[in-house]
Structure 1
């Protein structure tokens, strides 16, 4: 009975020594028996740990479980030894068919017989560490197992089994009632192996289970515990794993704090401390930090000294970390965090041979990855794509198709907006659970393209919101799903015809505009999409003015977002040379904005925003803008509504601050209105004004302050266009033309010579 701690390098070395000394005919390993047929793959050249056994339900691939194994895992060492010595290898844990059928803990059977209450879950290593006087369970395990050797290869297992026996007597199943069912199955498998191989058997399992496997029970009692367990049809395979995933304590992680350190301890042939410090020095040098061989020597000495002072058998991870911080990092945790991330944990990604079972979709994905030279990597990778290049465009289509299938291998890089340019930025990181997502997506088809097409068509039929359909149409264009696009557009047209909510229509239009722009770059036929977008834009133009009347402040703020989105979308919509009405859409939208800017029933924030959009497009003269502002800020307008108009006109990140800096008349109008606001209403409008002007850049706010500071003294009459210092009532063309000679000189263009 070789009781181990999963993923412990000390346990792995001890298992190798015990197997070499005992040379059993059969090795029984804690794991799902359905994987017996996959054991032989562990000996193939293409298999490189860390890897994991993946089991998933055939009818529900999302119901899955992993059994991770690293190079330093005792189970992996036992498999490799058995395959190398011609011994039989079998997994003896509860079948995955039962494990996946009942993910929740089963009711506690035989609790009275075991003498244990339910209570909280017990961590055996933590309990043993506490009994030994250690506060840190990992440190105790290092001292007791990882950093010690033994002359007798079986002695460590006997000592650990004795300790676990005492814990089982005190805690029973330790809050893990399903362990009783698992152990019953393992005892049955052990009995069967004894009949076949006699006593020449080695059992490699968690040390917690050893006392239960040695218990004298009857076959009838064990079978009774297994009777009536639910069962599902399952499939198993090997999948690559990562050190970083081993270090996670949630999800599919194994809860190992330092897999990179453990791998080093297991693989270093001699002088592990010196070799580790050399690795650290190499990493820091690669980051342009000054680390010499003298630093390595001093760090080794300090780690050994700390281990002696702390009474440890040799330097562990705590001592090496303290030494690296003091000697190589000058006491800083910044480079030390890099060491922890790159070495203590690491981004090692395993590999499995091509012959491992896989769903057809996984095989097609692997083929595409090889063809596009897009290798899965455990570390984060930033990828820049130029859609004008065939290979980059194909990479883009693959990543978008995977996202549509829910396989989030790549995500658009933050800060890069998809506005129809020919470049895309992606951030890639391959996580082991993506294999589960691929298995789940396999129900939609056997190839990535077919599965994404089927998934898009299914989503189009199930969508109930217009915005969801427009987003789906955009995804189909990005993914190059030409077969799915007609289905999606048909559903989109039907939904748009039935949806009378202008807010929904306005929310849907920007995605369509982006889709059209991407369609142009990717050479996709977007005729049908252009027709849908044009019809949607026409309906927005008709329905928006009445929808904006009589809104409360919250609804008006939401509608302002829709207004901006529609304005940007109409600017993006490409003109159709075959459609003589295409140029009229922009004119019609300008008419909508003008009606919004002039209607009194429209909230101030929308009137101000419409006026600003017209001004920026050159469809509203400066005099007209000043007139509209004067009306909005007239004494008859409620201060709150006037402040809202200012927020719509110059608020947010719309460049309103620069507009006021360069248009003195508008600034004078706002300044004059602000000075005339009654004291009782000033406190009501102040928060809105602060929000408006606080969004400006510091330099813009400072310039505005300087312009206003040049005004009349406090308490004087309100500033007017004629009395505002530094302001003029009209453009001085003679002064403006004075800069032309200098500009011609700078630009090297023909013109009047610059004055001396």
Structure 2
């Protein structure tokens, strides 16, 4: 029938399952037996010029052929190949034996254009399953040939059927028999289902037949071997004319495409990654293909080694017992060899003690795996990719499929260069690293990155190549273009921050010019408040990295002045959601003003040209004036007024009596209950430490308690959700303490006049309530014992006589 080239005159058609180790072994055996003069492989013909790189010592699968449109690199497609892929085995066999290799599938120039016509996106993995198990085309319902064959054989799982009839079958005997059987089965399916729901296959198969005819004419009718998806074998045997096949190909759209090799990963071969011809267990399949003998025993040894590395107690006895159990399960289930199902069940029962937690680690690390392939330097690449590779090598940042954390100390030259590279790549859309919170340090000189290289990043690098031939040049061009096209002021300020992080001195002037223009035209206080924090953070980053920030400082001060003028009227007439948003703006501006004062001193601070060497006059004072205005303005939203009072209290700008007076006004009988609840939310809500403030200040707690007791039943129902939100953010211990204080009645209304604010007199208020553990007066001896520790925490002298006695302050 033409599948056995040694028996019947015709091409040797080797129908395979993509990424099937059993198919790979069978292909190798059939090629050794048939010894063809040319090997034709399902794949884009543009890769013919690259196939020789498969023999390079630097090429390590899994890898993929990447095709992309020259003018639009985002329109791309991958053809992945693992070490156990039949196509890869055929390519390596041909190169090792000096036999030509040619790809015979529809050219990528056509397939990429057809995807665009169908409305498909870029970054598809291959053309389709090729063995009938799904594909990359749009629309239609495709038959699953393996599912049909498995169901016919009485199996409910196609994967298990394939393992039993192919993967667990040895290579002894007739090397062509499995391809004859599979070809006959697929022929019956094609007779019943036709193209299986994908008309695009007819076009591809017409092109394949033309290439097979050309090869037979050149090398002889029986000297050609074809390695393709089993689903296509009946179509290649179909008797058609060249004219009919060319008619199917006439008028196909075409684009200009380029192709190269890129690294791939086992994880991206898995079906969960979205590849239609993917497999659920690439790590397991790689093991089956690479194990010379006793695959179950070798697998259990790998599992035991992994679990031991994770501090699990796994002995040799566990390995022996797991192997016995897997083989017993296979015998009970009528399988020729223990498969992944049996080995997994045995590992769970013996090595994991019935727990799925360590078993999940085995699935992730071994069944799927994090193997990342390598591509030799000789592979074609865009100039930007070559520059990135050079930087990765110089900075010792090797791409890895396994996610890992990278701690950087920006005071070190190499770490600072690594940080710049990662920030530049993020600006280009190449998300190799994502910044994350640093553990154990809050200093701005430290950065933590989470790195993980995905194959799709090769496409992102190709796309970014339009901005420049080097990482620095491309990031500069992209930042400048993004600044001009930014839609909001906050976007421009965030971009300025990223330019400083990435150290792009040529892009920063463009960004700053756009920023100044946008800031001058934008009158929305909310937009200005969103933009200010990013600018002030940039001052800090510039200080750490030694970058000049004079222009940023000037713009930041200008934004601050405009916020001071526009904020009070903007806080009037707000609904609940807008008031909460405005409170967040107030918090952000307050923190930004603090940093402006911090960076407004000393030479090179960015303010010298305007204010000299001292702190910017009036910045902090102007802001505090705005907070006082808002705190006493009845037209401002309650949550904003309460927040302003709290900020003034924390900054030592309001005394105890004044805070109590403002709280009493906000919670008076004449105020609407909803406004009072909102004021409380602003004053003590969220994670601002308001709970501890109420714990240690009996007077404020009494005011809240009295107000809540005086709220009517209907109003209480309305304000309850807001109060629940306010107090639910407190730590459980704080809530419990507040409950105890209210239950015992520490103060009554304003009777707690002796209680101070922020802990200054809270002990006296609690003592007046007769609570255990509190004396009526301060004990100087016990207080003196704490002073040395406090001085040590503050970095003050702790020698003899330093701070002795309660009369010596620690602040």
- Tell me the SS of whatever aligns to 2:50: helix
1:29 equivalent in structure 2: 41
Which of 153, 178, 183 is the matching residue for 1:161?
183
Contact 2:702-2:749 at 8 Å conserved across structures: no
1:741 equivalent in structure 2: 784
Mapped to 2, the partners of 1:734 and 1:143 lie a distance apart of 85
In structure 2, relative to structure 1, the CA distance for the partners of 1:419 and 1:564 (3 Å cut) is farther
2:153 equivalent in structure 1: 132
Instruction: After TM superposition, list the pairs within 5 Å mapping 1:150-299 onto structure 2.
Output: 150-199=172-221, 200-252=223-275, 254-299=277-322
Instruction: After TM superposition, list the pairs within 5 Å mapping 1:229-378 onto structure 2.
Output: 229-252=252-275, 254-378=277-401
Contact 1:418-1:514 at 8 Å conserved across structures: no
Which of 98, 117, 121 is the matching residue for 2:142?
121
Shift of residue 91, structure 1, vs aligned partner: 0.1
Instruction: After TM superposition, list the pairs within 5 Å mapping 1:483-494 onto structure 2.
Output: 483-494=506-517
- Tell me the SS of whatever aligns to 1:636: coil
- Tell me the SS of whatever aligns to 2:271: coil
Contact 2:105-2:207 at 8 Å conserved across structures: yes
In structure 2, relative to structure 1, the CA distance for the partners of 1:274 and 1:419 (3 Å cut) is closer
Shift of residue 722, structure 1, vs aligned partner: 5.5
Mapped to 1, the partners of 2:644 and 2:49 lie a distance apart of 70
Mapped to 1, the partners of 2:776 and 2:720 lie a distance apart of 38
Which of 682, 692, 713 is the matching residue for 1:658?
692
2:618 equivalent in structure 1: 584
Contact 2:66-2:77 at 8 Å conserved across structures: yes
1:726 equivalent in structure 2: 766
Contact 1:105-1:178 at 8 Å conserved across structures: no
Aligned length: 740
Contact 1:711-1:719 at 8 Å conserved across structures: no
2:135 equivalent in structure 1: none
Contact 1:676-1:718 at 8 Å conserved across structures: no
Q: Cα deviations across residues 239-277 of structure 1 (Å, max 9, x unaligned)?
A: 111001101344457421111110011011111111111
Range that drifts further, 731-740 or 32-41: 731-740
- Tell me the SS of whatever aligns to 2:260: strand
Q: Cα deviations across residues 695-725 of structure 1 (Å, max 9, x unaligned)?
A: 1111111111121122289xxx856326997
Shift of residue 671, structure 1, vs aligned partner: 1.2
- Tell me the SS of whatever aligns to 2:314: coil
Contact 2:533-2:588 at 8 Å conserved across structures: yes
In structure 2, relative to structure 1, the CA distance for the partners of 1:570 and 1:719 (3 Å cut) is closer
Shift of residue 741, structure 1, vs aligned partner: 2.6
Which of 569, 576, 600 is the matching residue for 1:575?
600
1:676 equivalent in structure 2: 710
- Tell me the SS of whatever aligns to 1:525: coil
Shift of residue 518, structure 1, vs aligned partner: 0.4
Mapped to 1, the partners of 2:617 and 2:366 lie a distance apart of 61
Unaligned stretches of 5+ residues in structure 2: 1-12, 120-138, 603-607, 756-764, 793-797, 807-811
Shift of residue 680, structure 1, vs aligned partner: 2.8
Instruction: After TM superposition, list the pairs within 5 Å mapping 1:672-711 onto structure 2.
Output: 672-711=706-745
In structure 2, relative to structure 1, the CA distance for the partners of 1:272 and 1:732 (3 Å cut) is closer
Mapped to 2, the partners of 1:119 and 1:345 lie a distance apart of 30
Unaligned stretches of 5+ residues in structure 1: 108-117
> CA RMSD for the aligned pairs?
2.2
Shift of residue 691, structure 1, vs aligned partner: 1.1
Range that drifts further, 158-167 or 573-582: 573-582
Shift of residue 678, structure 1, vs aligned partner: 2.0
Mapped to 1, the partners of 2:72 and 2:432 lie a distance apart of 21
Contact 1:68-1:254 at 8 Å conserved across structures: no
Q: Tell me if 1:143 matches 2:164.
A: yes
Instruction: After TM superposition, list the pairs within 5 Å mapping 1:639-658 onto structure 2.
Output: 639-658=673-692
Shift of residue 737, structure 1, vs aligned partner: 3.9
Mapped to 1, the partners of 2:718 and 2:176 lie a distance apart of 81
Contact 2:21-2:84 at 8 Å conserved across structures: yes
1:98 equivalent in structure 2: 110
1:112 equivalent in structure 2: none
Mapped to 1, the partners of 2:788 and 2:550 lie a distance apart of 49
**TM-score normalised by the chain length of structure 1:** 0.95
2:430 equivalent in structure 1: 407
2:809 equivalent in structure 1: none
Q: Cα deviations across residues 266-300 of structure 1 (Å, max 9, x unaligned)?
A: 01111111111111111111111111111111111
Shift of residue 660, structure 1, vs aligned partner: 0.9
Mapped to 1, the partners of 2:692 and 2:276 lie a distance apart of 53
Shift of residue 740, structure 1, vs aligned partner: 3.1
Q: Cα deviations across residues 455-480 of structure 1 (Å, max 9, x unaligned)?
A: 00000111121011011001100000
Shift of residue 622, structure 1, vs aligned partner: 1.6
Q: Tell me if 1:15 matches 2:27.
A: yes
Instruction: After TM superposition, list the pairs within 5 Å mapping 1:497-508 onto structure 2.
Output: 497-508=520-531
Shift of residue 441, structure 1, vs aligned partner: 0.5
Mapped to 2, the partners of 1:68 and 1:515 lie a distance apart of 43
Which of 64, 67, 73 is the matching residue for 2:79?
67
Mapped to 2, the partners of 1:636 and 1:416 lie a distance apart of 49
**TM-score normalised by the chain length of structure 2:** 0.88
Shift of residue 345, structure 1, vs aligned partner: 0.7
Mapped to 2, the partners of 1:680 and 1:597 lie a distance apart of 28
Shift of residue 501, structure 1, vs aligned partner: 0.5
Mapped to 2, the partners of 1:254 and 1:477 lie a distance apart of 44
Instruction: After TM superposition, list the pairs within 5 Å mapping 1:620-631 onto structure 2.
Output: 620-631=654-665
Range that drifts further, 521-530 or 620-629: 620-629
2:761 equivalent in structure 1: none
